[in-house]
Structures are given as structure tokens and as C-alpha cells.
Structure 1
Amino acid sequence: MTGIHASRPPRGDRAYVTLVTSDDYATGANALIRSLNQTGTEADIAVLHTGGVSSGRLEELERLGVRLCGVDLLPTSAAFNNAHAREVLHRVAPFDKGDKPPLHTPLDNFTKLRLWQLDYARCTFIDADALAMQNCDRLFEYPEFCAAPNVYESEADFHRMNSGVFTARPSQATFDHMFETLDVPDAFWRRTDQTFLQTYFTDWHGLPHHYNVLQYVWFNLPKLWNWKSMHILHFQYEKPWQTPHGKADQLRPLIDLWTTIAEGGPLPDLAKMPNPE
């Protein structure tokens, strides 16, 4: 696997995959992995990680049973790197809906594409700032490429994709073609991997909303919130471990839930969880 250095062989041909690019995201991945382990999944769990993660934090994740997969940044051109430098990207396409802490660089986001170089037949990617609320193994039966809508402000956003959860079929040939398409003259991917993937997979299939419920739905679209059907909860923008947290009062029940799982507590009984009013 060129560009990937794995800690052990794969366990089976299916894997949940996440990306960790800093110690902060290792904090998120710790909770995600704990939640996945509680769902009774039979799939492997692989953590793509860059050089921005300390060895101690990686050892913590490995003790949870995951397969560590060290990855190099993509060998993108100087022009591409300059166009996607943090200060350039955030000036041209600022995040104005919430506070997104600088946990990594925009170029780190594109290492998500290394998933297509993994030695699995089927993968489900989940961002490290998410939790699995119940078994999600059915996602492995969905085709490539499926992702849930980027809905957190208005129901009109159902046509947009969120790359925090998606299904994929690893293939070196696909990776090679993706890279050729990614780094072209004057390339600018406004929301990095998310914009690229929606453009590359023009006929992407929509996953049911409950496979990637964005936390802002809690207060923006409470009628769409349903604990019983929720499979993955995604903490876009502010992170539950973040201090200070500008929306802590609005999101307190979700932060408390994340904290419980991160500290080794059980998944909740979704039937008993109160929906927002």
C-alpha cells in the first residue's frame, strides 16, 4: 500500500475508517472507536493518521483494538498547496455558521482519499468528531459512493453532501484517477475533500439522514431529530471537547453524551432519550 504504513494485517475485508491528523482529533477518535466497539460490529476499524499525532495518543487508540495506518500527505503541487493554505482558504471561503477550531490544515483533509488505497473490499468512512449510536454494519451493503445530506440549517440543503460519513470501495485505480482529477491547474476545492468528492462522484447516492445527523439539527431543525432512528451523530463545527465552546449551552445534552462515551461509559438507551422541544 504505497503511502500507507499499517500496524497489523486487516481483520476481514470490511472496515470502518477514520482520519486523525492531530492530538485533538485523536481525542475525538477515542470516543468514536469506543462507540463503534459497543455496537457489536464485526468489521475492522482502521485509523488513518498523519505525522501530526503524537506516539502516545496513537498507542491509546491502538489499545482499543484498531489498525493504525500511517499516511503521507498527498504529493500535491505547490500551486495546489498555496491555493489551499489555511489562511487563503478561510479568507476566500470563511466558515460563518459556527466556530470551527484549527485542529489541522486544509491539506490534511485530502489525505482522506488514501482510504481508496486500503486493502479492504468495502469501507465506511466516519469523521473522528462523530459517535456511532447503534450498529451501522448495514452501510457496507450500500454501493460506492453514498453519503448523507449536509442538512443542519434548512431542509433545502438536502441536495448537498456531507463527507463526514460515506461508503467506498478501495481501489488503487480509483485513487490514481481521483488524484489526477484533484490536482489540476487552477484547482480550488472550496470545502476541501467534501467539495471534491461531491464533484468527483457526480451521481452520488444519498444515505438516509440518520446515518449522519449533524449536531446543529438539535436547535435548528428539531423536528428532524429522532434518537430512536439515529445511527451516527456528527459534531460539525464546535467539538464537544472544545474549551471555550461558543454553543455549549445550546448543545449541552449532546456534549454530555459525548463525554460519557469518551470516558468509557455505555451507549444510551435511545428509546429513553428525550428529543429536543
Structure 2
Amino acid sequence: MARLALAVLVLVPLLLLAAARDERGQLVRAVEGPPARHRHAYAAMMYMGTPRDYEFYVAVRVMMRSLTGVRADADRVLIASADVPRDWVRAMAEEDGMRVVIVENLRNPYENNLGGINRRFKLTLNKLYAWTLVDYERVVMIDSDNIFLQNTDELFQCGQFCAVFINPCYFHTGLFVLQPSMDVFKGMLHDLEIGRENSDGADQGFLVGCYPDLLDKPMFHPPENGTKLNGTYRLPLGYQMDASYYYLKLHWHVPCGPNSVITFPSAPWFKPWYWWSWPILPLGLSWHKQRWDDLGYAAEMPVILMEVLMYIVIITITRLARPGMTKLCYNRRPEKLSSLVQWLIKMSMIVAMVAAYSIPFFVIPRTVHPFMGWSIYLFGALALSVLVINVFLLPPLDVLTTWFAIVGALIVMAFPWYHGGVVRVLAIFGYAFCSSPFLWASLVRMMDSLQTMLERDPFFPRLGEPAQETEFSKLF
């Protein structure tokens, strides 16, 4: 019996990992995780090849776990491309309880029409694999940049295809309902082969072409007796509330339909999981609260602790060693090089100032909590600013004016008693207008201080004249 059990443990994963192909050889997939336990499923998609693969991995896990918080009575399914790292697949299957369907990437015949930033949508046609989930009667396909505010299981009563129009002319594929069907899937593969018209070269343009008359269909209202509808329907806007709606009044009020799901279809740098999204975009805290409750930040903590230690070392060494640019500029003999060297030193000072406030931004793990991220950023900017102060012998208060301005901007943006988004924007612009003279004055004083230091005779003696020894120069 032990040998039989061992054989089963070995053979079952091999059979699951074997290719299950349709007659065209287009479909290759394997399934990991628990078996189907419900008639319905929430499904998401993950593929590799973008600069933000890890961020979307974390986003998928948080979103899927959030469905437990709203008591969703359905399976969680992830459609993952075959190149998703095995440890990610294992974590999502074993720790998050997802059924992970591993698929080959569908070839995108429109990829030559994708330009610039839109090339990140090259593999979004993998979303069509949702129609192969024939173990389920209905599937709600969702993007990873969604936040669920309440249970949406009534969507499983919708018809063969249902989607939300957040654009007046085109429905949004960040969330849609479908009835799985291999016949529909094969028909879509055929449409890809013949090159059906696609307005954007990605999944949304393709599906809009497949369901061109959805705008004329009736609005979905779930039957009270729990029966399933047939046909295609438009979903109320409350199932895909664009985050930009929130910023008008700083609260949710979408009258047409339940306020159930928030979506973030904006530029990728303003997704809710990035630490800098708050307080610029206040909704980031909602996402991070969900992550804090479900996953925590253990993966990022070693990097954060290393950064804090590095900044402490920078401040300590800077204060003890006191490196000065005057040491590097001492006894420059050729007078004709003096103006060029001074110009280079001034440019170096400006570059150093920019680096002091930009380097900490890019080295912080992107998906840490906003409070943690901004604290590390401000500490890092302070440490590097102290280094700039000591290297160029600049007035400390003038160098740190920018640091105080950033702190003030965070306070203004996070002020909790704004009556609406317009008032908040006006307050931010007012703060920027009032603080800009102080920033300019600090820059002028820093340049004057640096110029005064560089014009001292001990550091730039005239041609043919020996450097004058002073008490100041003997120190070097």
C-alpha cells in the first residue's frame, strides 16, 4: 500500500503537468492546487515579461484573498503562463488556495500594432483561456487591480457574457462575466488566426469586436429567485468604479448599481499597491490594509532593514569624516581652468542634490506600506542631504528646505477634512505656489555659498603666484 501511495503521489502531478491539447494544438495547460469545489469561480490572469511582474504577483494574491473578506462563495482560479516562477505558483496554490491553470501564451497577431507603453498588453489575450474553465457554470474574470468592497456573487446569475461600460463607447474587461465553453474558445482562436479587427491590439479591443452590440443589450438585474439568465447584458457601473470617480468628492457614490468593486485603469505607476500612491491617491491605503491583514510585508523587510542601516552608516561616516570639496579643489594652479572647474563643481552640487532626493525613491521596495515607504524615503533623503552639506560645505537649512517642503506636501495631501477633490487639488496648488519662493531662495543661497568658497585664494591661486598659506589652508 505504501508503494501504491508513493506511485500515486508521483504519477498524479506528472499527469496534471501533461499537455491537454485541443484539436488545433493551441491549448496546453496543467492544473495545480485544490480541485473544483464550487459551481462558480473568480478568475484572474498572470503572465511574465513586464518590468512589474512581482508587483502584479503580489496584487493577484491580495485581491484573491480579499474575496474571502467579502465572503465570496466561489473558487479562486489563476490562469498563469508557463513561465511564471514555480515558487510563485506553489505559494498561490498552497498558501492562497487558488487553482492555478498553467497555460501557454497565446500568440498575439496584433503585437505589431502595439506601440510604446502598450506593449505590456501583448499577452493579455491569455484572458481568453477563461472560456476553457468548463468545470464551472459561470466565471467572473477580474484584473489584479481591483478592490472588492462587498460580495458580488450575484454576478454568477448573469448570462453568457456581461461587462461594464466605464467608457461611453467601449466596455471594460477589468471585470466581466462569462459562461465557459470550448466551442466559444475555439471560435475565438479562429478569429485570432484570421485577424479579426482589434482596436487596441489587446484583450479589450478583441472582445469588443466579439461582442459589438453589447451597448444595446439590457442592464443586468439579478433575479430574486437566484436563477441564471441567458444572453448578454450590460453590468451596472458600480461593478467597475473607476478610481478617478473617487477623487471628485473623496467618497464613493455611484447611483447606478451597487458600489461593489473599485478598478484602477490608470497609468501603471499609479496602481494602488505602490507605496507612493498615498497620499497622492488616497485609495492606496485600502489596498495596503488588505495586504497587511492577509500577507504582511515579510518579503520586503530584509531590504528595508538593510537600507536603514546603510543610511545610518552614511550619516555617521559623514559627520565623523567631514569630507569637503575644498580638499579636492586645493591648489589648482592653471588660472584658465578655474572658471571651468568652478562650473563643474556647481553642476556637481546640483546633480548631488537631485540624487539625494531621487535615489531613495528608486531603491525602496515598491509594494511596501505607504507609511513605511515614505518614512524610509524621508530618512534616506535626509541622510544623503547631510552628505551633500558636508561635501560642498553648504548651509544646512538651505539644503534641507526641499526636505521640509516634501514633508509639508505630504501633510497637505493627506489632510483628512477636505470636502471634495477640487478643494484638495486647490490646496495642493496653493501650497506649491507658496513654497516655491522659499525653494528658489534656498537654491540661490546655496549657489552663493558655493561661489564664495570657490573664490578663496588658497584654493585657486593666480597664475605665477604661490598659494598663500593661511590658518584655514593649513588645516588641509
When the two structures are superposed, what TM-score results if normalisation uses the length of structure 2?
0.47
How far off is 1:167 after superposition? 0.4
How far off is 1:53 after superposition? 2.5
Provide the rounded CA distance (Å) in 2 between the counterparts of 1:248 and 1:26: 20
How far off is 1:67 after superposition? 0.9
1:214 aligns to what?
Answer: 242
Provide the rounded CA distance (Å) in 1 between the counterparts of 2:238 and 2:420: 16
How many aligned positions are there?
Answer: 243
Which whole-Å deviations, capped at 9, do the CAs of 1:172-225 have from their partners, x for residues lacking one? 000010111123248544151011111101232321111111212223x54993
1:69 aligns to what?
Answer: 101
Q: Which ranges in structure 1 are unaligned for 5 or more consecutive residues?
A: 96-101, 151-156, 266-273
How far off is 1:227 after superposition? 8.0
Among candidates 13, 20, 36, match of residue 10 of structure 1: 36
Matched-pair identity in % = 24
Is 2:156–2:177's contact at 8 Å kept on the other side of the alignment? yes
Letter in 2 for 1:72: E
Provide the rounded CA distance (Å) in 1 between the counterparts of 2:201 and 2:252: 25
Relative to structure 1, is the Cα distance of residues 173 and 259 closer, same or farther in structure 2, using a 3 angstrom cutoff?
Answer: same
2:323 aligns to what?
Answer: none
Provide the rounded CA distance (Å) in 1 between the counterparts of 2:129 and 2:170: 23
1:257 aligns to what?
Answer: 286
2:175 aligns to what?
Answer: 165
Among candidates 101, 117, 129, match of residue 145 of structure 2: 129
Letter in 2 for 1:20: M
Which whole-Å deviations, capped at 9, do the CAs of 1:84-129 have from their partners, x for residues lacking one? 15xx5124xx66xxxxxx8xx4232000000101121110111111
Relative to structure 1, is the Cα distance of residues 201 and 49 closer, same or farther in structure 2, using a 3 angstrom cutoff?
Answer: same
How far off is 1:57 after superposition? 2.3
Which whole-Å deviations, capped at 9, do the CAs of 1:17-42 have from their partners, x for residues lacking one? 01122332111111111210111121
1:141 aligns to what?
Answer: 157
Relative to structure 1, is the Cα distance of residues 14 and 264 closer, same or farther in structure 2, using a 3 angstrom cutoff?
Answer: same
Relative to structure 1, is the Cα distance of residues 276 and 27 closer, same or farther in structure 2, using a 3 angstrom cutoff?
Answer: farther
2:184 corresponds to 1:174: yes
Provide the rounded CA distance (Å) in 1 between the counterparts of 2:30 and 2:288: 31
1:201 aligns to what?
Answer: 211
2:86 corresponds to 1:55: yes
Provide the rounded CA distance (Å) in 2 between the counterparts of 1:124 and 1:160: 19
2:398 aligns to what?
Answer: none
Is 1:17–1:46's contact at 8 Å kept on the other side of the alignment? yes
2:438 aligns to what?
Answer: none
How far off is 1:51 after superposition? 3.1
Q: Specify which structure has the bigger relative contact order, considering alpha-carbon pairs within 8 angstroms and separated by 6 or more residues.
A: 1
Provide the rounded CA distance (Å) in 2 between the counterparts of 1:169 and 1:107: 24
2:55 corresponds to 1:24: yes
**Higher gyration radius (CA):** 2
SS at match of 1:216: helix
Relative to structure 1, is the Cα distance of residues 186 and 14 closer, same or farther in structure 2, using a 3 angstrom cutoff?
Answer: closer
Relative to structure 1, is the Cα distance of residues 13 and 183 closer, same or farther in structure 2, using a 3 angstrom cutoff?
Answer: same
SS at match of 1:242: coil
Relative to structure 1, is the Cα distance of residues 193 and 276 closer, same or farther in structure 2, using a 3 angstrom cutoff?
Answer: farther
Is 1:225–1:276's contact at 8 Å kept on the other side of the alignment? no
SS at match of 1:264: helix
How far off is 1:262 after superposition? 1.3
SS at match of 2:150: coil
Q: Which ranges in structure 2 are unaligned for 5 or more consecutive residues?
A: 1-19, 22-27, 48-52, 215-232, 295-417, 422-476
Higher strand share: 1
Letter in 2 for 1:109: T
Is 1:19–1:47's contact at 8 Å kept on the other side of the alignment? yes
Higher helix share: 2
Letter in 2 for 1:84: E
Provide the rounded CA distance (Å) in 2 between the counterparts of 1:276 and 1:200: 40
2:263 aligns to what?
Answer: 234
Q: CA RMSD in A?
A: 2.8
Provide the rounded CA distance (Å) in 2 between the counterparts of 1:17 and 1:202: 23
Which whole-Å deviations, capped at 9, do the CAs of 1:222-243 have from their partners, x for residues lacking one? 4993289421111222212236
Provide the rounded CA distance (Å) in 2 between the counterparts of 1:227 and 1:260: 23
Letter in 1 for 2:252: W
Letter in 1 for 2:182: Q
Provide the rounded CA distance (Å) in 2 between the counterparts of 1:42 and 1:186: 36
Is 1:225–1:275's contact at 8 Å kept on the other side of the alignment? no
SS at match of 2:194: coil
Letter in 1 for 2:234: G
SS at match of 1:183: helix
Structure 1: 4+ residue segments shifted above 6 A: none
SS at match of 1:6: strand
